């Protein structure tokens, strides 16, 4: 008798916890004072099967898929600050999968397919909006680049359309086609768009927590304990935490974690800035990017324009950027959309991006046994969050990188088999 009634109460429990119209109405009756916590705040146990370093989107997604798909529930996510407070909360929320090379298409399209069902899967509205993503071309070279890339995308079975300047104007009536470097065409991915970045971290955290993952915030990793070339745990600000396997998903601090474990990474860190304007009525209903004149912009649901461009070109962990880069960002923005010149910018910030020389990420085993790294996402990791977490979780569980992750091994920097997205993806994140 215990079995069925136990299952039944679990079912009722899950039903009561799930976010739905019913739970909204029920909580409205108590003036929304009794919503349950989205995740627990447990004390760390002495040992876990897997410890994930870094509570950003990729780390939380890894933990979520480990617990829900790989049958590994004894997992901790250790976060120095608060969830999604690093690059997950600092990016410009753009999602796309229009990459040139096969390995990249495999990873980013894998992510795109997971994005498309993510709110339902997590029972958490990540506000994924496939509003379309438009790359502009401003020169013969740009036209050749989008021609080559657009056809490569087609061959990989991913959607992509070429637009004439007239079609661009039809999509974006406010655009100034005859700017200093006139718009000669565009490449549109209709399935591209944006998602609410914080909600992605929170949704994965809630899902992972419900599946038994311990999320430990305000807990800094200060050392990686390695015995006979095998990782056995991490030293943290809350003491030693033992681990069967460790996955480092520390983004800008990956080199620091690697140094703790005694090896170097092919990474350098730079500040990447973004800024938002004051909120205005709906004016841009897609994401607009220009590699040629170096700016990208979309409009948030609050009405703010979210603007970004290139990273500052010096090594830094400062989470600030230089002023001249802001000028380099708003210059082309006002050239493309002259009416934005009268907007005020409200906020500006930077995140620390860990960049590889080929502008492709690293999902890999390391010189230390049972220590895995997921890093090097550089200026464009947000869009890959579900795919990266999914591939990394399955790879950690199997002890071998899976088909999607395998090309992104750290060994490529010795073998020379780089995945050189530098030219195709240098700006557009």
Residue 392: CB minimum distance to other proteins, A: 21
Q: Interface with other proteins includes 323 (CB under 8 A)?
A: yes
Taking the least distance from each CB to other proteins, the nearer of 297 and 375 is 375
Give the span between the Cα atoms of 16 and 59, in whole angstroms.
Answer: 27
* Cα dihedral 428/194/90/105 (nearest 10): -50
Q: Interface with other proteins includes 416 (CB under 8 A)?
A: yes
Q: Interface with other proteins includes 357 (CB under 8 A)?
A: yes
Please compute, for residue 219, the number of CA atoms within 13 A of its CA located in the half-sphere on the CB side: 25
Please compute, for residue 55, the number of CA atoms within 13 A of its CA located in the half-sphere on the CB side: 28
Taking the least distance from each CB to other proteins, the nearer of 49 and 268 is 268
Applying CB under 8 A, among 45, 148, 320, 369 the residue interacting with other proteins is 320
Q: Interface with other proteins includes 259 (CB under 8 A)?
A: yes
Applying CB under 8 A, among 266, 279, 331, 422 the residue interacting with other proteins is 266
Whether 90 and 274 have beta carbons less than 8 Å apart is answered as yes
Q: Interface with other proteins includes 282 (CB under 8 A)?
A: no
Residue 54: CB minimum distance to other proteins, A: 15
Applying CB under 8 A, among 253, 359, 365, 394 the residue interacting with other proteins is 253
Q: Interface with other proteins includes 255 (CB under 8 A)?
A: yes
Which of 114, 96, 93 is CA-nearest to residue 105? Answer: 96
Residue 220: CB minimum distance to other proteins, A: 13
Taking the least distance from each CB to other proteins, the nearer of 173 and 416 is 416
Q: Which residues contact 401 (CB under 8 A, 6 or more apart)?
A: 363, 364, 365, 391, 395, 408, 409
Interface with other proteins by CB under 8 A: which range of 147-155, 177-185, 253-261, 336-344? 253-261
| Residue burial 165-177, b: 16+ Cβ < 10 Å; e: rest | beebeebbeebbe
Interface with other proteins by CB under 8 A: which range of 69-77, 208-216, 313-321, 388-396? 313-321
Residue 320: CB minimum distance to other proteins, A: 7
Q: Interface with other proteins includes 269 (CB under 8 A)?
A: yes
Rounded to the nearest 5°, which phi and psi values hold at 108? -75, -30
Give the span between the Cα atoms of 114 and 93, in whole angstroms.
Answer: 16
Radius of gyration, CA atoms only, the chain? 22
**Binding residue count for other proteins, defined by CB under 8 A:** 27
Whether 204 and 122 have beta carbons less than 8 Å apart is answered as yes
Taking the least distance from each CB to other proteins, the nearer of 236 and 255 is 255
Residue 334: CB minimum distance to other proteins, A: 19
The tokens describing 367, both together, are 């010189």
Contact set with other proteins (CB under 8 A): 253, 255-256, 259, 264-269, 313-318, 320, 322-324, 354, 356-357, 413-416
């Amino acid at each position: 008798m215990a079995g069925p009634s136990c299952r039944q109460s679990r079912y009722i429990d899950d039903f009561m916890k799930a976010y739905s119209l019913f739970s909204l109405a029920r909580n409205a009756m108590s003036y929304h004072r009794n919503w349950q916590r989205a995740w627990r705040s447990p004390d760390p146990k002495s040992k876990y099967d897997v410890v994930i370093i870094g509570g950003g989107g990729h780390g939380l997604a890894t933990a979520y898929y480990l617990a829900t798909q790989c049958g590994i529930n004894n997992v901790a996510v250790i976060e120095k600050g608060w969830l999604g407070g690093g690059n997950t909360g600092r990016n410009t929320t753009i999602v796309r999968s229009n990459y040139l090379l096969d390995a990249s298409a495999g990873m980013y399209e894998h992510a795109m397919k997971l994005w498309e069902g993510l709110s339902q899967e997590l029972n958490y509205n990540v506000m994924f909006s496939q509003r379309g993503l438009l790359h502009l071309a401003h020169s013969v070279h740009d036209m050749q680049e989008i021609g080559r890339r657009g056809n490569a995308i087609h061959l990989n079975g991913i959607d992509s359309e070429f637009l004439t300047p007239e079609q661009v104007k039809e999509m974006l009536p406010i655009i100034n086609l005859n700017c200093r470097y006139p718009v000669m065409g565009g490449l549109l991915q209709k399935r591209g768009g944006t998602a609410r970045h914080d909600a992605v971290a929170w949704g994965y955290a809630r899902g992972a927590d419900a599946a038994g993952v311990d999320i430990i915030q305000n807990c800094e990793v200060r050392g990686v304990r390695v015995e006979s070339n095998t990782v056995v745990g991490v030293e943290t600000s809350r003491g030693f935490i033992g681990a069967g396997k460790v996955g480092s998903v520390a983004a800008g601090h990956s080199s620091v974690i690697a140094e703790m474990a005694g090896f170097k990474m092919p990474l350098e860190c730079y500040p990447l800035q973004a800024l938002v304007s004051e909120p205005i009525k709906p004016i841009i209903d897609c994401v607009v990017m220009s590699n040629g004149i170096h700016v990208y912009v979309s409009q948030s649901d609050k009405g703010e324009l979210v603007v970004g461009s290139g990273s500052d070109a010096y090594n830094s962990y400062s989470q600030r950027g230089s002023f001249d880069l802001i000028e380099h960002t708003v210059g082309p923005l006002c050239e493309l959309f002259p009416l934005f010149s009268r907007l005020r910018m409200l906020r500006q910030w930077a995140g620390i991006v860990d960049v590889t020389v080929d502008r492709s990420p690293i999902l890999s085993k390391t010189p230390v046994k049972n220590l895995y790294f997921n890093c090097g996402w550089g200026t464009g990791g947000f869009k890959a969050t579900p795919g990266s977490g999914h591939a990394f979780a399955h790879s950690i569980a199997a002890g071998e990188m899976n088909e999607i992750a395998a090309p992104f091994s750290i060994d490529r920097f010795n073998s020379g088999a780089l995945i050189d997205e530098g030219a195709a993806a240098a700006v557009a994140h």
